[in-house]
Chains A and B, each alone.
Chain A
Amino acid sequence: MPTTAFLSADPGWMAFLSPEIASRAQFGWTITVHIIFAALSVGLAPFIIYFTWKGVSTDDERFSKLRSFWTNVFAVGFVMGTVTGIPMSFQFGTNFPRFSAVAGELIGGPLAFEAKMAFFLEAIFLGVLLFGRERVSDRTYVLSSVLVGVGAWLSGFWILVVNAWMQTPRGYEMVTRNGMEIATLTDPVAAFFTPRLPWMYVHMINASVISVALLVGGVSAYLVWKKPSSKAWTTALKIAVLILLVSAPLQAIHGDAYGRHVADTQPQKFAAMEAHYETGRADLHLVAVPTRPSALTDPRAENLFTVSLPGMGSFLASGGDPNAEVLGLNEYEENPPVALVFWSFRIMVGLGFLFIGLALWGGSLIYRGTLAENSRFLKAMMVASPLGYAALLTGWYVTEIGRQPWVIQGVLRTNDAISRSLTSFQATATLIGFVLIYVGLIAVALLVLRWMVLDELRELSVIETSRDTDRDPVPQVGDDD
């Protein structure tokens, strides 16, 4: 796209981004940050349920400690998820009002169900989990942790019902109402349970589990490395590795089948994932390295050093025929930003295989009983702790950017979904605002995690308690009614 399309001249000395580009960037950025925290809730839920249940049923101090630490992380993540989710839910109206008006009947229901069935459940029972240990019975307490988890997973379900519909829309009819062509719901079962939903749900939930297992594993590895005798953190590390041993290979197997489904339903996205321009036999590029800078922004096979499996793209897309014809990007009038999709896809897949390797390594150490002693492995886990998120986000970019120029595949173009009253100035100014504030939020979230880890090191007596953290106890008034 020529640069002039990105910029629309505003009077005077300053040029602002066009409302479309600024809105897309703003939504992409807010959802990026929101997903980090949403996935934290989804992925931490099983850990929290397990720690809470074991803590209550065995009275083992290890589990109470782990529950308290990770519930606190969950709470910070949940707050961040709430505050970043609210602007996002309103951006459908502020930045993409024509999308809301056209698709409101189809997307409004699931979004409302998310709020009512899932979000309330999570928020309310998290309150009990955080502040109600002394106020409710053991049974209610464990049940609260389960309900928080159910809320998080159900929340993901309803959101993906919406997103899957946008990828493979079904169960609607375009009808003119009040002078506007809108999608009218005709078949709720078809609209809610689109062909894409099961693929997306399994892939996204599992990606969240992998990301959080790596995060828990990384933090645990650090603490074990600092204090090898810590039983609690060795336990946490072991659980994280065991979860990875199941989830990482599952993601690769599932991802392969998911790719075939994308080739069937969104051939343009599939072609962008492989930078496949000419219709014909498609190779699969296992490794791609740009040989000149321009290949970074415009990846084409001839400008890349690749290790490829000839015909494997055709084989995967067709389900067995290495010579099958795969549609190329040249067939389309307008394509998504191919570079972003192509490189995101490579990063995601590459990291996925790395996680499998890491899981197998950890598994063999567990088998040999030397998990807590292998400092190379501990360091590798520490390095890997943010990489699950890198894979999750790049995967999300493949899905979302790969669908462009459509916001609803084949139905509504993103450019037609944008507000007509939105000015370049408004869109650009709020984009800058969101970038600054959310960068601050992420920095603060990381800082808080660091403080929690430092507090933990103090508790493990690895570092000394500094005097200024002591304070007078707060006077306590009454207990209950």
Chain B
Amino acid sequence: MTDLLPVDGYLVEQLPDVWFGVVMFALAMYIVLDGFDFGIGMLYATREDEADRETLLAAFGPIWDANEVWLIAFGTMLLAAFPRAYSRLLADNYLLVLGFVLALLFRGVAPELREQREDEEWQWTCDVSFVVGSTLAPLLFGVLAGRWVFDAATLSIPALLTGVGLVTVSIATGAAFLAAKTDPALAAEMRDYGIVATLAYLGGLVALLVTVVMTDAGRVAETVLSAPAATIAGLSIAAGVGGIVLARRGRYRQWLASALALPGLLSVLVALLLYPNIYPPTGLTVREAVVSPLALNLVTVLGLPVLLLVVWYFKFLYTVFSGPVTGDSYSG
């Protein structure tokens, strides 16, 4: 294989930058797909009725673990391409990372365990664990992202606003997802929650960007004021406002599309603010932090085609599980 793959240079000159893009793509897939699952988990707290709860769990059910694999894909690809950044990022944020993965643990096992037994106390415990995990996971992951991008302290305004931003955008996408998948009465309620969450997200995003410009957190003020970042902020506001209009008109599928654009754009913003670094405290640029040519060429040739196949699986999966959900479709 060494003869087939170049050892002394990257397959294409821009390959390190391509991999920065690939890692950020996995991050985007994760916060988009697991984001609406988190949103469903938080909106679950608003449901008192057992049938409603089962409907929400059914919407959440079949594919959450596949959505979560994007987190593992993100982590392992970051390790594979940028091991120095991976190790420093996780070591510097020890308690935050472990808090986040434990929140994911509670979020993940709760619905699976809930359906195993018809017992009120048991189900109540699972429900609490589900809601708390679904709230804490995006909050902690957002704070982590805030620390990462803005080089900020855990209890600083940029980090906390990023955390709250991920929570609100998750509620917005979760509400849109549920509105598109459930009966009209439930959808109408979800629409109202979704509109509030979207407004909160847009407000939080503006507050975050203003704070960052004023304090120059992470020395990204200049980047925030540049044309590409301003475009992304503008597109986010357009997608948010457009989504609200669509939601009010009852066009839930279109609303879902514009809502899902919000976490997608957020990931692009993260990428933009980081580049050309990948984890600023290391002081290494993408090109300096990336692995040697042979290793990167190898993960490109073996890994990238598989990534395309995975995207195709997801298309298949969401086709199989398209259409409205019902309470009793969540059972083995």
Contacts and interface: CB of A to CB of B under 8 A. Distances in A.
Contacts of A79: 65, 108-109, 112
A477 B68 contact: no
Contacts, number: 258
Nearest to A441: B109
A79 B104 CA distance: 11
B86 interface: yes
B72 A131 contact: no
B98 A94 contact: yes
Interface of B: 1-2, 5, 7, 50-51, 54, 61-63, 65-66, 68-69, 71-73, 75-77, 79-84, 86-95, 97-98, 101-102, 104-105, 108-109, 112-113, 116-119, 182-183, 284, 288-289, 291-292, 294-295, 298-299, 302-303, 306-307, 310, 313-314, 316-317, 320-324, 326-330, 332
Interface stretch (A10-18, A55-63, A114-122): A114-122
A128 B317 contact: yes
Given A75-B332, A83-B105, A101 B94 contact: no
Contacts of A93: 75, 79, 86-87, 89-91, 97
A464 interface: no
Given A109-B80, A433-B102, A477-B326, A86 B112 contact: no
A87 B71 CA distance: 11
Contacts of A86: 68, 71-72, 101, 104-105
Given A93-B90, A124-B313, A184 B306 contact: no
A132 interface: yes
A322 B177 CA distance: 70
Contact of A115 (B72, B292, B302): B72
Contacts of B94: 94-95, 419, 421-422, 426, 430
A127 B62 CA distance: 5
B73 A116 contact: yes
A132 B320 contact: yes
A108 B118 contact: no
B320 A136 contact: yes
A105 B1 CA distance: 16
Given A104-B79, A109-B298, A178-B284, A89 B65 contact: no
A-B CB proximity, top 5 nearest: A104-B83, A93-B90, A108-B80, A97-B87, A474-B327
A257 interface: no
A376 interface: no
A103 B84 CA distance: 10
15 contacts: A82-B65, A87-B101, A93-B79, A94-B98, A97-B88, A108-B80, A119-B72, A126-B65, A127-B320, A135-B321, A180-B84, A184-B295, A188-B298, A422-B91, A437-B102
Contact of B83 (A82, A105, A123): A105
Given A112-B73, A419-B94, A422-B94, A90 B113 contact: no
B233 to A, nearest CB: 31
A452 B113 CA distance: 12
A83, A85, A433, A471 interface centre (most CB from chain B within 10 Å): A83
For the residues of B in contact with A, the DSSP-based class is helix
A302 interface: no
Interface residues of A, number: 86
A233 interface: no
B292 A184 contact: yes
A473 interface: yes
B83 A85 contact: no
A396 B5 CA distance: 35
Interface in A265-322: none
A112, A126, A128 interface centre (most CB from chain B within 10 Å): A112
Contact of B118 (A72, A98, A433, A471): A471
Given A94-B94, A437-B105, A478-B323, 11 more contacts: A86-B72, A86-B101, A94-B90, A94-B91, A105-B292, A131-B62, A136-B320, A187-B2, A421-B94, A433-B98, A468-B119
A104 B291 contact: yes
Contacts of B313: 120-121, 124
B87 A124 contact: no
A92 interface: yes
A99 B324 CA distance: 47
Contact of B108 (A83, A119, A186, A478): A83
Contacts of A5: none
A94 B322 CA distance: 38
A82 B79 contact: no
B322 to A, nearest CB: 6
Contacts of A105: 83, 291-292, 295
A480 B329 CA distance: 11
Contacts of A85: 72
Nearest to B117: A451
Nearest to B126: A444
Contact of B324 (A178, A430, A452, A477): A477
A132 B81 CA distance: 36
A471 B53 CA distance: 15
A180, A187, A188, A441 interface centre (most CB from chain B within 10 Å): A188
A260 B43 CA distance: 58
